[in-house]
A and B are shown apart, each in its own frame.
Chain A
Amino acid sequence: MIVFDGVTKVYEPDVSALDGVSFVIDKGEFVFVVGASGSGKSTLVRLLLKELEPTRGKIIVGGRDLARLKRSKVPMLRRNIGCVFQDFKLLPNRTAGENIAYALTVQGESRNSIRRKVPEVLSLVGLADKMSSFPDQLSGGEQQRVSIARSVVNHPPLLVCDEPTGNLDPDTSVGIMQLLYRINRSGTTILMVTHDREMVDKMRRRVIALEDGRLARDERRGGYESE
């Protein structure tokens, strides 16, 4: 699903964010990416979305070499990667339903199919009754659920989450994790960047740890810290 091969990213003038990182993530995996602030986690996500170009190395997502992907094809790439962010990134002047509908409209879905899919995915994340609420009328956990609903409504093969529970209290976080777990069970590959030590230790999934831009650890059933 994802191949990082000796990926190095150097920001101008010479701040090295990632240094020769290599790993392979298979289809259907649930992978945590952990590390201190500034260890290169966010850079990794932005490289995946082709928001940034790597200085050296090769990135393959879904069988496509990102370096060879034309700029005009980037929207297509992003439609195949669901994104969930710490700050939700919902459009503030659209309701929950409209936010999800926008992701579908962008792909040229018909109005009928949008009208069918939006309530479906909202009830999947347990917000069937919040269809016409605006983001500022929703709690943080609810906003994150809307954002997850938006990211999976197209059934992307890959879901990238950048600290999805970073702004949420522990109980709410558990709910979000359960939701992500369910999505993973349905076959979606999930790459989740996180600081949430407890969650990583409890889930016992594959852990990729970054330290100062280097790959420090890659364990099949790891914890937040090396044991």
Chain B
Amino acid sequence: MRFRTLTAEAWRSLAANASTTVAATMTVLIAMFILGLSIGLGTWALSWSNHVKKELVVHVYFCVTATCANDATKAEENAVGNMLGSIPEVKSVNFVSKAKAFRIMQKHSPELTKGLPSNPLPDSFEITPKHGEDVELIANKIGHPAGVEKINYGKRTAKAILRVARVIEIVFLLAVIILLAASTLLISNTIRLSIFSRRREIEVMKLVGATNWFVRGPFMLEGLICGLAGSVLAVVLLMLGKEIALPAILGRISESSDAHALAFLWTSLILLGFGIVLGAAGSGVTIRRFLRV
């Protein structure tokens, strides 16, 4: 079939079935808008939970006179440092000398450090794991080598944070899967209705000798156009929401955080692609049943 015939046929039936065209476009619009919202919210939540996980670190505190009767030796500290380097889950190790720890404390809570006769703080290692989930594992692997007073990874907080993060991930995944399924069903149902209302037309086309592709081509192009129009409108609506509604709701809160939603461009591309593919493929597949004349 020539391209001009294809587009002419598709355009003709789009115009002739205006109400169906509008209904199909609106269905795609609604489905893609909600899907876009959930992608935006979901990726933001994921990124927030990752951000929180990044704050999870393991501290290894060395002995000082006040806690274990005598200070940890340099050799003991080096031994622990070497061991940390050999643990695969460890991303980076940062040595915090007692002097440095004191400076940090002075900065954060000067009233506590005032009037102290000497520096009571120990040397320590601050260990950043590759994955936040591994803090407990790393702490267990270190065990209790000589010269170490205690290992701290905020057991309770860490567990709470990890639990919340997991819940967020699961909820987001479920939401996206359910929405994908729901919008596929919704759109395919609209397509089925529109094709069903024109099954007599398809029958006549087949009886005058149209090949399956001659009938199917324009329908698929129609589906593609409706899908494209619906998802473009959804992207426009989402963009308006992002530019106008979001700043009004959030104010400046989100600026300081390093949690970000998936780039808007990517969300838009996903929606456009999904809308187009669903429209065209949906029509192409659905029409098969009606072509058996």
From residue A222, how far is it (CB to closest CB) to chain B in Å? 29
B205 and A102 within 8 A (CB): yes
Instruction: Enumerate chain A residues within 8 angstroms of B12, measured Cβ to Cβ.
Output: 93
Q: A110 to B131: give the CA distance in the assembly, Å.
A: 66
- Given A75-B209, A93-B16, check contact A106 B214 (CB 8 Å): yes
List, in ascending order, chain A residues with CB within 8 A of B13's CB: 93
Which residues of chain A from 50 to 102 have any CB-CB distance to chain B below 8 Å in the complex? 51, 72, 75-76, 78-79, 83, 89-93, 102
Give the contacts of A94-144 with B (CB-CB under 8 A): 102-103, 105-108
> CB distance A91 to B214 under 8 Å?
no
Given contacts A51-B293, A91-B201, contact A106 B16 (CB under 8 A): no
Report yes or no: B204 in contact with A75, Cβ–Cβ below 8 A. Answer: no
On whether the beta carbons of A90 and B209 are closer than 8 Å, the reply is no
Contact assessment for B210 and A75 in the assembled complex, using a CB-CB cutoff below 8 Å: yes
Q: How large is the interface on A (under 10, 10 to 19, 20 to 34, 35 or more residues)?
A: 20 to 34
B19: interface (CB < 8 Å)? no
> Interface residues of B, CB < 8 Å — how many?
20
Question: Is A159 an interface position by the 8 A CB rule?
Answer: no
Q: Which among B2, B5, B204, B212 is the interface contact of A89 at CB below 8 angstroms?
A: B204
Contact of B208 with A78 in the complex, beta carbons under 8 Å: yes
Q: B206: which A residues are within 8 A, CB to CB? A: 75, 78
Question: Which A residues lie within 8 Å of B16 (CB)?
Answer: 93
Is B73 on the interface with A (CB-CB < 8 A)?
Answer: no
Q: B2 — which chain A residues lie within 8 A by C-beta?
A: 108
Residues of A contacting B207 with CB < 8 Å?
49, 78, 83, 89
A79 touches B204 (CB 8 A): no
| Chain B contacts for A106, CB-based, 8 A | 205, 208-211, 214
Once bound together, how far apart are the Cα atoms of A151 and B212, in whole Å?
A: 19
Query: In the complex, are the beta carbons of A103 and B208 less than 8 A apart?
Result: yes
Distance from B206 Cβ to chain A, minimum over Cβ atoms (Å): 8
CA A106 – CA B206 in complex, angstroms?
A: 10
A150 sits at the interface (CB 8 A): yes
The residue of chain B having its C-beta at the shortest distance from the C-beta of A77 within the complex is B209
Residues of B within 8 A of A151 (CB): 208
Using Cβ atoms and an 8 Å threshold, which residues of chain A touch B204?
89-91
A107-B5 in contact (CB<8A): no
Tell me, rounded to whole Å, the shortest Cβ–Cβ distance linking B235 to chain A. Answer: 32
Asked whether A75 and B211 contact (CB < 8 A) given A93-B16, A105-B5, the answer is: yes
* Residues in chain B near residue A150, CB distance under 8 A: 208
Kindly state the separation between the CA atoms of A81 and B205 in the bound complex, as whole angstroms: 14
Q: Which residues of B contact A92 (CB under 8 A)?
A: 201
Chain B residues closer than 8 Å to A90, beta-carbon distance:
204
Which residues of B (141-183) have their CB < 8 Å from a CB of A? none
Contacts A93-B16, A105-B5; A76 near B209 (Cβ below 8 A):
yes
Closest B residue to A90 using CB positions: B204
Q: What is the distance, in angstroms, from B112's C-beta to the closest C-beta of chain A? A: 84
Least distance between B287 CB and chain A CB atoms (Å):
15
Q: Which of B201, B209, B212 contacts A78 (CB 8 A)?
A: B209
Pairs A–B under 8 Å by Cβ, sample size 14: A72-B211, A75-B210, A75-B211, A75-B212, A75-B214, A79-B208, A83-B207, A83-B208, A91-B201, A91-B204, A92-B201, A93-B13, A106-B205, A106-B211
Residues in A lying within 8 Å of B, measured CB to CB? 49, 51, 72, 75-76, 78-79, 83, 89-93, 102-103, 105-108, 150-151
User: 4 nearest interchain CB pairs?
Assistant: A79-B209, A78-B209, A93-B16, A103-B208
Taking A78-B206, A91-B204, A107-B209 as known contacts, 18 extra A-B pairs with beta carbons closer than 8 A to each other, sorted by chain A number, are A49-B207, A72-B211, A75-B206, A75-B210, A78-B209, A79-B208, A83-B207, A89-B207, A92-B201, A102-B208, A103-B209, A105-B5, A106-B205, A106-B214, A108-B1, A108-B2, A150-B208, A151-B208
